[in-house]
Amino acid sequence: MARIFPGSVPGVSPSGARVTYVLAGVAPAASCREAFQPAAVPPGCRTTLRATYADSTQTFVATVGVAVLDRPRVGPRGAGRPATVRPVAFPGGPAQRFGERQYVTGVVVPCPERYLVATAAGYADGRAYQPGDLVVPRLRDAAWQLAAALHRSLSV
């Protein structure tokens, strides 16, 4: 599991500062219908693994989902608040209040292999998303960096 979801993932903030995303927990394997929002269930999806990360300041949290597909999927990458993987909360840490209402942004990255990597990111303080909320660059970047890093780890 550590190859798919490492204990920490390095990143860079929009200002150029180093950021570390720390693993909060790994959920048991789930069906694609359970792990993804209805509009985001990938065609040919067999199963999904999910983990939640928090940035080192414990301000942002993001659930990363890795879907195993029957065949490669090619498609556009999401932006804003796309239908994506369902957030997973883990008690006793920065991700304990992270759920469907708290995710603000996300990313869906199709891979040329038989995987799809998706993220749902929000605030660790549990604030709920409100339509029209602006996505701060650090939160958007956290979603992208985690998706890109875990996509790379699957491609090697």
Per-residue pLDDT reduced to its tens digit, 43-101: 899 999 999 999 999 999 999 999 999 987 655 444 456 778 999 999 999 999 999 88
**Residue 143 CA from chain centroid, whole number:** 6
Q: Taking CA 126 as the corner, what is the angle to CA 20 and CA 41, rounded to the nearest 5 degrees?
A: 80
In a domain, 100, yes or no: yes
Q: How many domains does the chain fold into?
A: 1
pLDDT at 75: 54
Give me the residues paired with residue 100 across strands: none
Q: What is the dihedral of CA 5, 13, 144, 93, to 10 degrees?
A: 40
This prediction has a pTM of 0.88
pLDDT at 122: 93
Whole-Å CA distances, 89 to 12, 45, 70, 127 = 24, 23, 28, 14
Please check the confidence at residue 124 and state whether its pLDDT lies above 80.
yes
Q: Which domain holds residue 131?
A: 9-155
Name the residue with higher pLDDT: 155 or 54.
54
Name the residue with higher pLDDT: 3 or 90.
90
Please check the confidence at residue 38 and state whether its pLDDT lies above 60.
yes
pLDDT at 10: 93
> Measured in Å, how far apart are the chain's first and last C-alpha atoms?
15
In a domain, 126, yes or no: yes
Q: Which residues contact 54 (CB under 8 A, 6 or more apart)?
A: 21, 22, 24, 60, 61, 93, 94, 95, 124
In a domain, 3, yes or no: no
